[in-house]
Structure formats: structure tokens, C-alpha cells
Structure 1
Amino acid sequence: MLTGFQRESWVWDQITKSPEVLLSSDRHSAYFYIDPIYESTGTAGVRGTKGFTEGEHYWEVVFLEPPCGTSVMIGVGTENVALHRSNFEYIDLIGFDTESWGLSYKGTAWHGGQKVQYCEPFFDKTTVIGCHLNLYKGTLAFSVNGTYMGVAFTGVNSVCGPLYPIVSSTASETELGLGEQYCRYLTLQEKCLQTIKRHLEYDDSVDCLPLPKVFKSSIKNI
């Protein structure tokens, strides 16, 4: 378990999803375009049942089948994100607009319709993508099979309302499962120290504050 984190529990939302997404009975696994006759006709997504408004949150998405096709993505978005595109619109759904931030299995990070190369592509079954959303700092970072890839996005806390975990796919028979989930919230003391740091003009001005050294050190490191 991550230091200072506690276990969190949420599942994929049975209601807020594309009709082309089916969920397992425990709603930990999502299956995309599984009709045995018809192929994929667009892009489908599903979001988690919990919206995040503060704190740090970590969750894992496991590829139960190798990713393929135009797009398979993991990320976060507001409640305004569209979770279904039909008429053969095969798009990178998460990050298509300014309401979401997403990572494609091709290693590209998307937001506002713009992409940057973030990491190497990942093609293997059982690949585990870790998502670390820090709403205190406004960052979203990812890990691939336990290897931290660094911050992919900043400013994710600039939107109004909660952010939801989202996955999407354009490919038939895509299967994505939920792995470990953790969260961490600042204590009242940490929130006070963070407020002090936010109002300092320069980082080194903390040394001039009439506070004990232990608090000054905490302000610098928070």
C-alpha cells in the first residue's frame, strides 16, 4: 500500500456508460463491443461511480486482453464528457475536449484535442496502468507495470465539479479490469501549512516566518 494512503472502493458505473459497454457482475471489469456478429461502430466509454473533488487518488486499470485498434484509453474527466460516439467515429475520446485528460495505449497523452508523446506504447495482455490523481497539486500521473512515468498533466483541478475515472475503446472485444485503489486526504494541519505555502511570494521566504523549524520544513516539503 502507498505510504499514508488507505484503501478506496468504487466500481464502473452501470448507468453512466456507452450502450456498447457491458460490465461484469461485480462491475470491476468492462467489456467493449462484444457482439459476436457486429464489429465496433465507433467509440465507447464508461466512468467510475466516484467523482473526486479533493485529495490524492490512485487506481489501476488492467488490460485483460492486449489493446489494439485506433484507441484504448485511460484517464479522468468531468460529468460533461461524452461516453459514446457512433457512426464509425473512431477517436481518442478521453482528452478529445478540455473536459478530460487521457492516456492512449500508443503512449500519447491527450487533452483539449492535442496530444504529446508521453511514454512508450504498451501492447501486452496483463499490462497494469496506475493512475495517480493529485487534486491538491492539480496533477495526473501514470505508471506502467509499476514503473512511474512522471506527471502527464497539470492544472487538472482547474475545472468545476468532480473528476471521474474513465476508460474508453474503439476496438471490439476490449476488456479492462479494475485493480488496486487507494486515497489520501490532507490532515487539518497539512491543509493549514499548504495554505501558508500558497500565499508565500517566494519558496525561500518560508525561512523568514516566525515558526518552529519543524513547521518550516513541513511547509517546504508539502
Structure 2
Amino acid sequence: MLPMPSTNQDLRCPGFCDCRFPSSIDVANHKGNIPDMVTCRCGEDSGNGLQWQWYKDDESDAHIVGRNIIFHPTYSQGTAIARGEQPLQHDKVHFWEMRVITALAGTDVMFGIGTDSVNLEQFKFHFVSALGTNAQSWGYSYNGKIQHCGDQLPYGQKFSQGCLVGIFLDRTRGHLEFYLNRRSLGVAYTNIPTDPHVKIYPMVCSTAAKSVIRLINSTSQPATLQLRAFQSLVKHPEKLEELRQMPGLKSIMQSYWFLAPPVRYSRSSTDYELDLGDEAVLSSSKLRLGRKQKYRESDDVNIDEEDLYANAHKIPLRRNDSGDEEYAASIHEFCDEYFHYLL
């Protein structure tokens, strides 16, 4: 078993790109619309389309301006929670991505999901890690921890301004997975309700005054065999690249872009580039470290260490009830048969 390098826990994930973001002093002194202070040159703010946006609540201290959530625009006296405008359907997989516009600080800023039982005003006058305090929500903190039922667990790197936080929710399987700068951090929870009567919403919470989160992508797709095939292929980037060269599959690839999203890291953080693949999947979970060790030692897996996607998809999607990985193997067989049929 590989020990976790202590330095990785202390590193803060660098921003996704080199776009200009306002300093904390600029934000504190700014009297206008804070999102207007961001000058985006990388094109990511245009996104890949929005199938839902944030729910506007005039009584909340989370102000919605277009795709942006401006938490505590004057000063903070507690925790504000914002949610999506519509529940996420039970028979689909959902992916949405958010850009962190301002520097994050304070008690907590969290990204995740919650049911319609979550009281958005519950912690209005309390500074808490709101998402995951009970069984009705699941959260991922900017401190790198995940939380559910009040239990916090180490999960990934700390992150702040300029980073992209993605959330992949598979309601058909009850799986919740987080992405950081378009790298999968692995499945965080497998206990998300699949009951169609349970309404689940995207959520973000913050205790930080004048903190801004921008929604840049939101998509929902039926859980078809086609999607499962691509979900399996992303763990084999060399095969995925072959499919990208086939004109007849380009539209399909675009529909499932979030399963293998484009990666663009900041040129000013080149020191991190060689380690990002490993850092993204590092976790204190012995299970994840065991899987990572297994894939490195396997003679059957040919991974190009220079490939940007190589390390991000080494974790199997799920295990069967007996705890082994035969289920993943059967998925590969279905995928091979499906793509043979397509081609």
C-alpha cells in the first residue's frame, strides 16, 4: 500500500486557466457587480450550454444574477445556500460545472446536492459547513473534504479562485462524483436516493462575504447503453482518441463531452503539471489508493504517463455486490459489442 505524500494535502489546486480574476482587496472595495470584474480569455465561460439555472429567492443572502451566485453581497452574518431551479430527474445522469470567481475563505464554501427537505434558511445566522450536515444533503468543501450526515472525510485537494468544480450525479445508480479542474476525484458517495419521488437539487453554500460562483455548464442525459459505453471508454484514452477521429461519432462525442472533458491548465502553474493526474485521484481512502497501486502494477494496462487523461480514469466505476470488479469487465464486453455494432 502506498502512503499518501503529506505535501499533496497541503497544496492548493492552481487555477484552471490564466484569465484575470480580481484580488480580495479589489472585491472588498468594489461597489458594482462583482462578476463584471472578471475578464475571461480562455472561452470557458461560454460553456457547453445550460439546461437549468439557479433558483432566485429574494429573501436569501445568495443573490442570483444570471449564471452567477453572489453570496453575502454586503457582509456575511451566517451561511447562505443556493439551489438549482428544478429537480434532477431520477432516470438520467447529470453533470454541471462551476467556476470559482473570487478567492474562497472563511468557515466553508461547499458544492453538492440536497433534497427538497433542505431548509435553505436554516443556517442564515450560523457559520457552518451546511451541505452534508444531515442525511438530506451531500457536500464537497473548498478545504478538500466531503460531508454527509455530519461526517467529514478527506477527498481531494484544497481549491480556491479560478478553479472549476464539476459534479457528476448518476441518479439511476445513486452515485455522486466530483471533478476538480476537469479531473475526476472518484466516486464520493453511492447512497444517493434513486427513488423517483425524492427530489434532488444542485446546491452551493458559502459563509464568505462577496464570494461568487458561476455556473458554466449544466447537462442531463438519459442513462443509455451508448452513455455507459463512453463511460467505460474514458478509462482507455488511446481508444477514445481513435473514436474522436471518426466523423460519424463526433456529434455523439460532443453529447458526452463531460465524460472526457478537455483539459487546460494554467501556464503559470507548470510546476504542477506532472503531478496533477496523481493529485486528482489522491485520497486518504485506502480503497482508492489500493486501486491506484493495482493499476500501476498491472501488466495488462498500457498507460501513457504523458497522456493528460491517463491517471484521471483509473478508478473502476463500481463494484458488484461481492466486492470484486467483474461487473466492470461485463460492461467492457457490452461496450465492445456496442461499438462493433456502430462501426
Deviations 1:23-49 (A, max 9, x none): 11x2x10001111xxx31110011001
Distance 1:215 1:139 in 2: 17
State the TM-score, normalizing by the size of structure 2. Answer: 0.51
- Please point out which of 75, 86, 97 is paired with 2:134: 97
- Please point out which of 37, 40, 51 is paired with 1:9: 51
Displacement of 1:118 in angstroms is: 0.4
Does the 8 A contact of 1:119 with 1:149 survive in 2? yes
Distance 1:151 1:104 in 2: 15
Displacement of 1:8 in angstroms is: 4.8
Task: Map 1:91-170 onto structure 2 (within 5 A).
Answer: 91-123=128-160, 125-157=161-193, 160-170=197-207
Displacement of 1:186 in angstroms is: 2.8
Deviations 1:105-127 (A, max 9, x none): 0001000011100001112x221
Mark the CA change 1:40 to 1:136 in structure 2 (over 3 Å): closer, same or farther.
same
The number of residue pairs the alignment matches comes to 194
Does the 8 A contact of 1:18 with 1:83 survive in 2? no
- Please point out which of 80, 91, 94 is paired with 2:117: 80
Bigger RCO (CA 8 Å, 6+ sep): 1
Displacement of 1:157 in angstroms is: 2.0
Does the 8 A contact of 1:18 with 1:46 survive in 2? no
Distance 1:113 1:215 in 2: 34
Mark the CA change 1:221 to 1:201 in structure 2 (over 3 Å): closer, same or farther.
farther
User: Where in structure 1 are there 5+ consecutive unaligned residues?
Assistant: 1-5, 192-199, 207-213
Instruction: Determine the structure 1 residue equivalent to 2:95.
Output: 58
Displacement of 1:13 in angstroms is: 0.2
SS of alignment partner, residue 14 of structure 1: coil
Does the 8 A contact of 1:132 with 1:140 survive in 2? yes
Q: Which protein has the bigger strand share?
A: 1
Instruction: Determine the structure 2 residue equivalent to 1:30.
Output: 69
Instruction: Determine the structure 1 residue equivalent to 2:234.
Output: none
Q: Which protein has the bigger helix share?
A: 2
Displacement of 1:60 in angstroms is: 0.4
User: Where in structure 2 are there 5+ consecutive unaligned residues?
Assistant: 1-47, 229-319, 339-343
Distance 2:99 2:213 in 1: 6
1:183 paired to 2:220: yes
Distance 1:201 1:153 in 2: 16
Displacement of 1:158 in angstroms is: 5.1
2:124 partner letter: S
Mark the CA change 1:110 to 1:216 in structure 2 (over 3 Å): closer, same or farther.
closer
SS of alignment partner, residue 131 of structure 2: coil
Mark the CA change 1:157 to 1:32 in structure 2 (over 3 Å): closer, same or farther.
same
Question: Aligned-pair RMSD on alpha carbons?
Answer: 3.2
Mark the CA change 1:90 to 1:181 in structure 2 (over 3 Å): closer, same or farther.
same
State the TM-score, normalizing by the size of structure 1. Answer: 0.77
Mark the CA change 1:221 to 1:91 in structure 2 (over 3 Å): closer, same or farther.
farther
